[in-house]
């Protein structure tokens, strides 16, 4: 089976938000000089050995556990540093790729990035290559879906440092998130949560907001609202007051206020959307 592919797409498929321009696996990387850059976003992930990336006056080593990300149409050069530099690479295009990579994944500049876990990315790339090599007339739609999967994985697993990927940051909060999910119906204090990580309450608040992009008690309320929605539908005869109490809200008025702020609808009207009364 060939280890490279260059998918074709119709004008209609070209309007897909996520698409593959090119892909290669287990590729013995040659010396590349592109004075006009590459026509789309390019991700090159080291599989074995190491290489060197040149961007203007800057040079970067690209080793195992790393990859290089290149913006479209930006001059660059790269070559093997070891006897053999095996890489996996993919060119990404589509109307939504740039926004996702630059704004959601934070990959707004060419350079070398760390890969927390290479295998999930590798598996998705293998799936993409296998799909492209089938005779399925709808394979480009499948490729588009897999491209989005790959982008999400890059968002989770690729970062500018080896300790700053989304997956690594979220893992740090795992004990806190698990505690909230288990004890949402109870009174939860900052001390309860900060003790789980061995930090001060103030540090936890800063850390939580930095990682989750929301305040910790706002997140607790979101979990409680999520659980209360399940209560409203599973126990249709339960009064709203009791739904509130069962999900950690002591004050039913406050529960209704938070519910409407989050869901743009009252708890009673939410129940009516799904349950015939």
Give, in degrees to the nearest 5, the angle at Cα 43 between 37 and 44.
95
Flag whether pLDDT at 164 surpasses 70: no
Flag whether pLDDT at 44 surpasses 60: yes
Flag whether pLDDT at 159 surpasses 70: yes
Flag whether pLDDT at 277 surpasses 80: no
Q: Is the dihedral of CA 44, 46, 48, 51 positive or negative?
A: positive
- Model confidence, pTM: 0.79
Distance, in Å, from the CA atom of 222 to the CA atom of 228, rounded to the nearest integer, reads 10
Helices (H), the chain: 97-99, 118-132, 139-157, 166-172, 174-183, 190-197, 201-212, 216-234, 240-246, 252-263, 267-274
Strand partners, 13: none
Q: 237: how many CB neighbours lie within 10 A of its CB? A: 7
Q: Which fold has domain 4-166?
A: Jelly Rolls (2.60.120)
Quick check: helix, strand or coil at residue 12?
A: coil
CATH hierarchy code of domain 173-274: 1.10.10.60
Residue spans of the domains in the chain: they are 4-166, 173-274
Over residues 137-149, the pLDDT tens digits come to 899 999 999 999 9
Distance, in Å, from the CA atom of 72 to the CA atom of 55, rounded to the nearest integer, reads 13
Distance, in Å, from the CA atom of 71 to the CA atom of 43, rounded to the nearest integer, reads 9
Distance, in Å, from the CA atom of 92 to the CA atom of 101, rounded to the nearest integer, reads 10
Quick check: helix, strand or coil at residue 112?
A: strand
- Please give the average per-residue pLDDT across 117-124, as a whole number: 96
- Please give the average per-residue pLDDT across 61-73, as a whole number: 97
């Amino acid at each position: 089976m060939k280890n490279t592919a260059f998918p074709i797409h119709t004008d209609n498929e070209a309007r897909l938000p996520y698409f593959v321009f090119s892909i290669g696996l287990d590729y013995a990387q040659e010396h590349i000089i592109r004075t006009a850059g590459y026509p789309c976003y390019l991700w090159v992930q080291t599989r074995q050995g190491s290489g060197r990336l040149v961007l203007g006056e800057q040079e970067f080593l690209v080793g195992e556990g790393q990859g290089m990300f290149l913006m479209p149409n930006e001059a660059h050069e790269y070559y093997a540093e070891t006897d053999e530099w095996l890489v996996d690479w993919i060119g990404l295009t589509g109307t939504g790729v740039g926004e996702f990579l630059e704004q959601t994944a934070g990959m707004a500049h060419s350079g070398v990035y760390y890969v927390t876990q290479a295998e999930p990315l590798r598996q998705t790339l293998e799936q993409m290559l296998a799909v492209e090599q089938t005779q399925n007339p709808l394979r480009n739609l499948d490729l588009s879906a897999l491209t989005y999967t790959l982008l999400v994985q890059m968002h989770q697993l690729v970062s500018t440092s080896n300790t700053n990927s989304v997956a690594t940051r979220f893992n740090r909060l795992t004990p806190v998130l698990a505690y909230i999910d288990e004890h949402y119906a109870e009174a939860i204090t900052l001390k309860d949560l900060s003790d789980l990580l061995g930090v001060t309450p103030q540090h936890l608040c800063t850390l939580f907001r930095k990682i989750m992009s929301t305040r910790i008690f706002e997140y607790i309320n979101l979990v409680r609202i999520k659980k209360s929605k399940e209560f409203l539908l599973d126990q249709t005869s339960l009064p709203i007051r009791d739904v509130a109490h069962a999900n950690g809200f002591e004050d039913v008025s406050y529960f209704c206020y938070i519910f409407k702020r989050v869901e743009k609808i009252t708890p009673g009207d939410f129940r009516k959307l799904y349950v015939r009364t």
